[in-house]
Structure formats: structure tokens, C-alpha cells
Amino acid sequence: MTGMAALAPALAEAARATARVASGHSLEDPGEQGAARGAVLDLCYGTLRRFGRVQALVRALSHKGKTATQVQALLWCALYALESGRYATYTVVDQAVRACALLEQWPARGYVNGALRSYLRGRAALERRVLADEEARYQHPRWWIEILQREQPQHWPSILEAGNSHPPMCLRVNRRRIQPAEYLARLAADGLAARSVGACALLLETPVPVARLPGFSEGLVSVQDAAAQHCTRFLDLAAGQRVLDACAAPGGKCAHMLECADVEMTALDADPARAARVGPGLSRLGLRADVRAADCTALDDWWDGRPFDRVLADVPCSGSGVVRRHPDIKWLRRAGDLRTFAQRQTAILSALWRVLGAGGKLLYVTCSVFREENDAVLADFCARTPRARRRPLPEDAGAQLLPCAEHDGFFYGLLEKAA
């Protein structure tokens, strides 16, 4: 995909996708297959991880009035392509100009050519200029940076750095079918280096397609972030318990609980399309659950009145702890969204508390690093819920797991319902 004939279509498709993100829409998976799809994804994800930077560079390079969003997006993607080192500089410039025709932006060819050549000539000065802009330097919106500086004064630079990095690929071994040490040996025999980072978690040295994973189709292993694998030990599962996974899709945590204990599992998701993904994943692993498309807060639609012993509330959130996997999130979220998420999270907690039996435990989970969605929600809920008791997590686990080289950012809060 490094040839001149192939890069122009990839740049054009990536420009369309990133222009949609700039207009407020989520990043969509390109329809292309094979190498073409890989190149488009690399351009989209790479550009969005550096979005603040490439936007600042294009503003600095522009000497004309407002240009079409797709033309700006083409320049964003071309700048990432130049910085990625995957292509020769002359190839990127030539193919970006050709991509103008594919975008039906023929008058912009001279502008795109001139802007990219100006960047190559004055790169050092431009670098110094854009680094004065916080959004360009840290690749996150300014409001996001300011919240982390206030809430995580010791860790905010590393959190932002992690958010701009490539995500790790972690596996969860299905211990009903194979032990982690045995599967680690299977990986080594197939030339895949990995190391243990948890009871069932194996971190790959280099990400690979799931088709390369030995025994994947036979259910020996699943792909799941190491931080997402904590829920089973936090919930203290035991055979025979009635367990509810209230926001289950795509089903990773639900499957992990079933791999660890013979529980009676009910799995819900409000989105029918997402709920439909849970069953096939469980079948691949040899597991079963009562999977339903239902809003967990609409109790009359799904609850039979029998209390649950354990409830997993993996609630909708900002996704601020997993932005390296979904880089469009950084630029689609607004500061006011945190309050909206917190209100929804509180509503879910209040509803699920009603289905939890006396002495039961509820695990509140987000993939957020913002206090407004995490500790603040739990503190408010416990303050106005007489029987809610916040329980300590195991000594080696913190409630707020910050994103790092081994795992994404997650928050865990364990509540117990007093008798």
C-alpha cells in the first residue's frame, strides 16, 4: 500500500472520514478490504491521535480564507502520512494532490501542493510555533487537559501521553478449556511473544489479527484489555449465584464471569444490534446466558422480581480511558457531556439497586478517568441511599486505573447492600 497508485484513494477516503469527525460524527469503519482498508484505518487513526497537532499545522500553513472541510482533512491526513515515515515525501505530496480530484476538489490542487511543500521547507519553525498551543502539544481538547491537571496533578502528562499511543493487545485465557501457562506455550510455539499480566491475562508483545491466535475459533482465548478483566475477582463470584450484567455488549465481561464460575447469568443491553453480538461470543467459548435486548432501567420490561446476588453495572461513559482505541472520542466529547453521563449513570445505579438482594454486591464500572463520572457518582449515591455500603477492593487494586503501556483506564467501585 506504499505505491503511488494506491495512496491517493486511501488519502481521499481517510479525508472523508476525518472530515465527518470534524463535523461531529463518529469515525466509521471504511468499507474497503485487505491492504486498502488497513491503509485507510492507519491514516484515520493516526490523524485523529494527532488531531490537535495537524489542525494547528494546517492553520499555520493556510494563507487563504476558509477552505472546504474535506480539503483541510486531506491536509491533516497528508501531514500524518509525512510524519509516519511510511511513505516517501514526494509520494505523499504527489498523491495528496491527486486525491483532490477523487474528492472533486480540483481547484484545491495548487493549495494542497503549496501547503505541503511549505511544511517540508519550514518544518522546524512550524514545530516551535504549534507547540505553544496546548491542544497541539498534548493532542487533547483544552477542557480535557484542564480537568486532568486539576484532578490528577501528578499523572496528567502520562495520561495524555497514553491517550495518544497505540493500544496494547491483551488476551483473556478461557480457563475452562486451557490454563494460561499452557496457552502461553502455545503462543511461543507459534512465534508470538507474550507475558502474564494477571490471572488470565496475557499481554502480546506485538498486536496481531485474531486469526493468528492459536485456538481462537475453538474458544481458548478472547481479546480483552487487562484492566477490564478485574471484575471477576472484585465481585467474589460463586457457583449458583444469580448474576446480572446490566450493560453487557459486546459481552467480554459477561463471558469472563461465566468462565470463572457456574452462575445463573442474565445479560442485558439497550441496543438490540449490540445485544445480538453477545450470544455468538458466548457460543464460541462454550458458555450460555439469558441474553436480552432491554434497557436495564425499565425494570417492568425484563425483571421477574427475583433479586440478584451480584450485579455488574458497566455503565455508559465518556470513554476517556480508552481514547487510544477510539481517538475520535477526544474531539467529539464536550465538557458538558460529563454531567449528562453522570445523570444517566446515577439513573442506572438507582434502578439496579432495586434488583440487588440483601447482602448482594454491585460493581460499578466505567472506562473513564474523570471524577465526575466515577467517585462523584458513587459518593452522591451512597449519601442518599441508606443501605449502600462502599466496600474496599483487594489491596493490590486501586479504584482508578490510569491508562498505561499494559492496560486502558478503568474505574471500579464496589457497593454492598446491607441487610
pLDDT of residue 34: 55
pLDDT of residue 381: 98
pLDDT of residue 396: 59
pLDDT of residue 218: 97
Q: pTM of the full predicted structure? A: 0.93
Neighbours of 132 (CB within 10 A): 9
pLDDT of residue 345: 98
Task: Classify residue 416 as exposed, middle or buried by CB count within 10 Å of its CB (0-12, 13-18, 19+).
Answer: middle
Q: Containing H/E element for 196?
A: strand 194-196
Of 223, 259, 225, 265, nearest to 245 (Cα)?
Answer: 265
Residue 1 — very low, low, confident or very high, per pLDDT cuts 50/70/90? very low
Residue 241 has pLDDT above 90, yes or no: yes
Average pLDDT over residues 325-346: 97
pLDDT of residue 79: 97
The catalytic residues are: 367
Average pLDDT over residues 5-23: 93
> N- to C-terminal Cα distance for the chain?
63
Whats the size of the chain, residue-wise?
Answer: 419
Torsion of Cα atoms, 207 then 282 then 202 then 185, to 10°: -100
Rounded Cα gap, residues 283 and 267, in angstroms: 14
Domains observed in the chain:
4-136 (1.10.940.10), 170-223 (3.30.70.1170), 228-417 (3.40.50.150)
Q: Containing H/E element for 100?
A: helix 89-102
Q: What is the largest CA-CA distance in the chain?
A: 74
Q: Containing H/E element for 411?
A: strand 410-417
Query: Do residues 369 and 320 make contact, with C-beta atoms less than 8 angstroms apart?
Result: yes
pLDDT of residue 31: 58
The one-character DSSP state at 129 is H
pLDDT of residue 3: 47
Lowest mean pLDDT among 27-41, 74-88, 110-124: 27-41
- H helix runs in 103-209, sequence order: 109-121, 123-130, 134-138, 142-151, 156-163, 180-189
Q: What percent of the chain has pLDDT over 70?
A: 96
Average pLDDT over residues 34-40: 78
Residue 63 — very low, low, confident or very high, per pLDDT cuts 50/70/90? confident
Q: What percent of the chain has pLDDT over 90?
A: 91
Residue 4 has pLDDT above 80, yes or no: no
pLDDT of residue 30: 67
Query: Do residues 337 and 318 make contact, with C-beta atoms less than 8 angstroms apart?
Result: yes
pLDDT of residue 32: 57
Residue 64 has pLDDT above 70, yes or no: no
Rounded Cα gap, residues 403 and 369, in angstroms: 9
pLDDT of residue 336: 97
Tell me phi and psi for residue 313, to 5 degrees: -110, 85
